[in-house]
Copies of this chain bind each other. A is one copy, B any other.
Amino acid sequence: MKLKEIGEFEFIDRIREGCLVRPEGVLLAIGDDAAAFKLPDGEPVLVTTDLLVEGVHFLRNATSGFNLGYKALAVNLSDIAAMGGVANEAFVSIAVPPDCDLEFLEDLYKGMRDLAGRHGINLLGGDTTGSRTDLVINISVVGRAPAGRMLTRDAALPGDRIFATGHLGESRAGLHLILNHILPDTEDDSALVSAHILPHPSLSEGRFLAGQVGVHAAIDVSDGLLSDLGHILTASNVGARINREAVPVSPRLMRFCSRFGFNTVDYALAGGEDYVLIVTVAAKQVEALNRAYEGRFGKTLFDLGEITDTGKLEVVDSTGRIKSPAIEGWHHFRGELNGI
């Protein structure tokens, strides 16, 4: 069935169920000119927004509606996570081409509601309209950050240690399998594909880190470690030295890279869409932070290197050789597919 057969308003009726998972503070949800809600007094409001366009960010015939909806929301939640914030309300605009099935759209909202429900996030409004050829999805998320405890990009200081909250490169490997039509029939391949299509937004991790003494700057890895760390360096006016040996790669990624002949560390350094967090931490707080983090999450942070005052991004190999790599990553205007 196509959307034009039921119209905008019946469509909204179909997808609105389950959108309001946390009614406290909500004054108006879907159905008026604007949504209205209250935030706890005095806490900063956070807003992030992401626009996904068919053929650029995803291939409609290569994804399920559910996975597309899930990931479209996940990337926004990851931005709130990178601020150390709490995500509260999501607003979804979609433009639907005539050939798009209603079932696909309902599945898309199911994917969004699934992830939203797990994090107590309301889908509180949006816009539904037509498109000539490409399916377009824009999600805005409104959240909050306790005053004075917001993680920004501009707070890194020379001497800070640089940590990642998880492994890098798995999402890129998953995309490689998808684009090469390699069916994930092993546990390894399934996990890699899953890392790409159903990424984990690190909201709890970000929230926890924002509450710890000595945590300075943060960002999420969406374009690739080197590219995203580059944003911290620019905003903080500092440099960084990363140890190649320390780049966190999973045994699974190592097996993948040896199978396809990639250098695992290079692969992980330029991998996008991992959605782990990168944080910089005052050196003297590292020990206490590591202990607290492990106590809370049962896993460790990965120490990648340190913030320097050189203004340069450097990668050091085991022999002590230093390279200033050209930063690779996703280029939205240059035709590559930022795959979902």
Residue in B38, B125, B128, B131 whose CB lies within 8 Å of A42: B38
Per the bound structure, the CA–CA distance linking A334 and B130 in Å amounts to 8
| A247 lies within 8 A of chain B by Cβ | no
- B133 and A34 form a contact (CB under 8 A): no
Interface set, chain A 80-130, CB cutoff 8 A to B: 80, 82-83, 85, 89, 91, 93-96, 98, 124-130
- B38 and A93 form a contact (CB under 8 A): no
- Give the residues in chain B near A7, CB-CB below 8 Å: 331, 333
- Give the residues in chain B near A138, CB-CB below 8 Å: 49, 51, 93, 127, 138, 140
- B47 and A130 form a contact (CB under 8 A): no
A68 to chain B minimum Cβ distance, whole angstroms, is 16
Q: Mark A23-58, 1 if CB is under 8 A from B, else 0.
A: 000011001111111110110111111111111110
Q: Mark A2-15, 1 if CB is under 8 A from B, else 0.
A: 01100110000000
Per the bound structure, the CA–CA distance linking A136 and B51 in Å amounts to 9
A190 to chain B minimum Cβ distance, whole angstroms, is 29
- B130 and A53 form a contact (CB under 8 A): yes
- A127 and B49 form a contact (CB under 8 A): yes
- B95 and A51 form a contact (CB under 8 A): yes
| A203 lies within 8 A of chain B by Cβ | no
- A96 and B130 form a contact (CB under 8 A): no
Residue in B134, B150, B332 whose CB lies within 8 Å of A36: B150
- Give the residues in chain B near A133, CB-CB below 8 Å: 132-134
- Give the residues in chain B near A224, CB-CB below 8 Å: none
Q: A53-B95, A93-B49, A127-B51 are in contact. Are A32 and B153 (CB under 8 A)?
A: yes
Q: A27-B44, A95-B51 are in contact. Are A34 and B143 (CB under 8 A)?
A: yes
Per the bound structure, the CA–CA distance linking A78 and B93 in Å amounts to 17
The 3 A-B pairs at the shortest CB distance, nearest first, are namely A51-B93, A138-B138, A34-B48
